[in-house]
Amino acid sequence: MKKWEELPVEMQVEEIRPYYDVLSQKRYSLLFKRAFDITVSFLMLVILSPVFLVLVVAIKLDTPGPVFFRQVRVTQYGKHFRIFKFRTMVSNAEKIGAQLTAGDDSRVTRVGSAIRKFRLDEIAQLIDVLRGTMTFVGVRPEVLKYVEKYTPEMRATLLLPAGVTNLTSIFYSDEASLLANTEDIDGTYMQEVLPGKMKWNLKGIMGFSFWSDIKLMFMTFFAMCGKKYETDKFIGESGYDGSNQDCRI
């Protein structure tokens, strides 16, 4: 981690200090986290290379356009990067609709629908993890226009790299359906969805440890296999409470 005085000026505020102090005491966990990211992402890219090849062919045969969806997102310390995701929508999707996807979005392609069902579009982010612009467990990377509206406390989530999965990936896995019945998708997301997600994101920082990351990766796998996690029961069984800086998953 950077020293406090080396953080971007907008992050050197009292609302972020408690989160910074927690993470600054976890330097070994952060070191193990990066070593794990490099090793596992490289191995998974090699193992999953046949899947990558199948997805590349399927996407190219289905609709014209690039294989990857590249969009500017925000990661650690507010840095911008272009995320890797397998394209699941028509190539000009951002020009003909919102940046968020809700319900049965007509921009999603036939192959893209199948890819999304099994979350295969996300495996391209292994490239980002290997590059260091993302990590396996961390706050999902947002687009710039949403980050610009963060409260000072929300900016504490930028102390760590953006992640492939975290608690909100489990508890907000039906985000698209939550936004399906609203005309103002962006407004609903900012006013109703994002604040709820941020509560879990900030809890995740307070409860960070290398082993909590490993457990959350297993939780994500089981959630993808159909296991349901109830928030109240989860907190009760794990003792995971954002009001306590010593909380753990």
Nearest partner of 22 among 231, 218, 248, judged by Cα:
248
How many angstroms separate the CA atoms of 222 and 79, rounded?
32
How many angstroms separate the CA atoms of 125 and 85, rounded?
6
Position 84 scores a pLDDT of 97
Block means of pLDDT (10 residues each) for the chain, 249 residues, are 95 97 96 98 98 97 93 96 94 65 74 90 97 96 93 97 91 64 76 87 93 93 81 50 36
**DSSP structure string for the chain:** ---GGGS-GGG-STTTHHHHHHHHT-HHHHHHHHHHHHHHHHHHHHHTHHHHHHHHHHHHHHSSS-SEEEEEEE-GGG-EEEEEEE--B-TTGGGSS-SS--SS-TTB-HHHHHHHHTTGGGGGGHHHHHHTSEEEESPPPPPHHHHTT--TTGGGGGGS-EEEE-HHHHHTTTHHHHTTT-S-HHHHIIIIIHHHHHHHHHHHHHT--HHHHHHHHHHHHHHHTT----HHHHHHHH---TTSTT---
How many angstroms separate the CA atoms of 23 and 205, rounded?
7
How many angstroms separate the CA atoms of 79 and 93, rounded?
24
Buried b (16+ CB within 10 A) or exposed e, 167-187: bbbbbbeebbebbeeeeebee
Nearest partner of 143 among 75, 203, 210, 73, judged by Cα:
73
Position 190 scores a pLDDT of 84
189 is written with which tokens? 């997301």
pTM above 0.95, yes or no: no
